[in-house]
Amino acid sequence: MTAPAQQLVLAIDLGSGGPKIGYVTVTGEPVWWHYERGDAVGGARTQNPNDWWDVIVKHAQEGLTQPNVTAKSVVGIAVTGQWSSTIPVDENGLPVAECLMWSDTHGAAHSQRMFGGPVAGYSPRALATWIRRSGGMPSHAGSDPISHMLHLDRDLPEVAARARWYMEPVDQVTMRFTGIAAASPMSMTGAWLTDNRDLSEVAYDPVLVDAAGIDANKL
């Protein structure tokens, strides 16, 4: 008799230098993997999410040609990656512009106007509001999702008008697989828009969303 194929998971780690793609057992043992750096994933401050997807699809298919990997053995998909980056996407999860990476600071001036002040660069009122509710604070340096969203809304209105959601990279890649727009407390940590006082019921906090000047419908 032929031994049953071991169950595998398609694992994707979307780093700043590009996607790592592999097949691992359900106990975490790597069976096959691929990683390439290069121009295909774009620049340091913006990257094209379509390039990520092309690399993921290409090498996920390549992995299926390996003798120890079969399509029938794949029982799940797991996506992780870098965070505090922002992709404007349409209703199908397709990007309408490039991803603003965690190093992009074009929105710094907007964040500084929203909650800048004399205490380590922050308004005391903003510090009290955010830390009491979320345990953290958006950066006034501009390198985080709040600044990205403000930059899109206020400096790139034509992009904002085409965007149904602003998504973290891990959530956008997951939506490409599932067709479902969703985020998690983990993926949205860098936005500091969730009420984290009760970790059993983490949700977007309307007070923080309003204080940030963000359109809640795009979260």
Domains and CATH numbers, the chain: 1-81 (3.30.420), 86-219 (3.30.420.40)
Per-residue model confidence (pLDDT) at position 38: 56
pTM beyond cutoff 0.85: yes
Choice between 43 and 18, residue whose per-residue pLDDT is larger: 18
pLDDT at 39 > cutoff 90: no
Q: How high is the pLDDT of residue 36?
A: 75
Residue 77, pLDDT score: 98
Give the pLDDT mean for 207-214.
96
**Is residue 1 scored above 80 in pLDDT?**
no
CA atoms within 13 A on the CB side of 146: 28
Give the pLDDT band of residue 89 (cuts 50, 70, 90). Answer: very high
pLDDT of residue 86 exceeding 90: yes
pLDDT of 42 higher than 80:
no
Average pLDDT, the chain: 93
Longest Cα–Cα distance in the chain? 74
Amino acid 67: pLDDT: 92
Query: Span 145-172, mean pLDDT?
Result: 98
Given a contact cutoff of 8 angstroms between Cβ atoms, the answer to whether 192 and 185 are in contact is no
**pLDDT tens by residue, 111-150:** 999 999 999 999 999 999 999 999 999 999 999 999 999 9
- CA dist list (Å): 86 to 22, 55, 104: 24, 19, 10
In angstroms, the CA 95 to CA 199 distance is 31
Q: Give 73's contacts (C-beta < 8 A, 6+ positions apart).
A: 5, 6, 7, 8
Q: Is the pLDDT of residue 13 over 90?
A: yes
Mean pLDDT over 176-192 rounds to 96
- Single-letter code of the amino acid located at 18: G
In the 8-state DSSP scheme, what is residue 86?
B
- C-alpha–C-alpha distance, residues 8 and 179, integer Å: 22
Helix (H, G, I), strand (E, B) or coil at 139: coil
The arithmetic mean of pLDDT across residues 178-185, rounded, is 96
Alpha-carbon span 28 to 22, nearest angstrom? 11
